[in-house]
Amino acid sequence: MNDKRKQPEKPENTGVRINKYLASCGLCSRREADKMIEAGRVQVNGEVVTQMGTKIQPNDLVLVDDKPVDNNQEQIYLLYNKPRGLLCSRKDDKGRPLIYDHLDIPAHVQSVGRLDMDSEGLLLLTSNGEILQTLIAPKNKIPRKYKVKFTGSLSLESIEKLRNGGIDLGKGELSDPWDMSIDSDNGGHSWITVTIKRGRWREIRRTLDAVGHIVRRLIRVRFGPIKLEEGMPIGSWRNLSSKEVAALKRLHKDASK
């Protein structure tokens, strides 16, 4: 006779995936966590992690490079008004000046995306790897707004091309449509405000170059919900307000749905 009584369900494997856990601790992004795991640098309860899908339970002891990881440390969120002439990198083989030479912050605080050496303005930095990943992931289309000064004046044809997108940037890349307004035009140079949503390498410079104009200044004034306030001295930095941090967390929550 078959026993048709309902068998007890196995408990679900709750917990947080190891790469998400490491990112939430502010140690790195999820992608960087995967690389650490592949390199055998991560241990859980004394065992080297070999499965990317490993889940972390509340009482697990997690080590990276034999050092315990603390997920209870307070997260750091900063806004830096980056000057021109600095690299957004921890080190540079050519010995060029770095933003971290001017910022007294822990090593696990990372810039959210990058501004190239000749660009300036709003640069976010955080220890929260989850929010960092949300902001830079192309699929989330987080808007970045820039003030741009360039040589010459835009023709009506160029304005249409910039707004419609599809300009050949080389290496198989096409420009995205721009949300753009013209701020001033004196013949010798012009200022425009541009919003883009992917932040590809030197995207604005390459796009304007493709229609015959050279960028002279490039200033980021907004990234997602965070704005660079007028009058903030170049080279200064501050902690984000609780309201700004809450806005980033809401953005992350919405993007994760």
Q: 155-192 pLDDT, tens per residue?
A: 999 999 999 999 999 989 999 999 999 999 987 999 99
Instruction: Output the CA–CA distances (angstroms, integers) from residue 239 to 6, 138, 144, 212, 244, in the order listed.
Output: 55, 26, 20, 39, 10
pTM of the shown model: 0.78
Q: Per the residue annotation, which of 60, 116, 118, 209 is the catalytic one? A: 116
Give the residue extent of every domain in the chain. 16-68, 77-139+226-255, 143-223
**Which architecture does CATH list for 16-68?**
Roll (3.10)
**Model confidence band, residue 72 (pLDDT cutoffs 50, 70, 90):** low
pLDDT over threshold 50, residue 9: no
Average pLDDT for residues 21-31, to the nearest whole number? 80
- pLDDT of 10 reads 40
Catalytic status, residue 104: no
pLDDT at 13: 55
Which of residues 106 and 211 earns the better pLDDT score?
Answer: 211
Pick the CATH number of 77-139+226-255 from 3.20.20.70, 3.30.70.580, 3.40.710.10, 3.40.50.300: 3.30.70.580
* CA 90/CA 108 separation, integer angstroms: 11
pLDDT class of 5 with cuts at 50, 70, 90: low
Instruction: Give CATH superfamily name and number for 143-223.
Output: Pseudouridine synthase (3.30.2350.10)
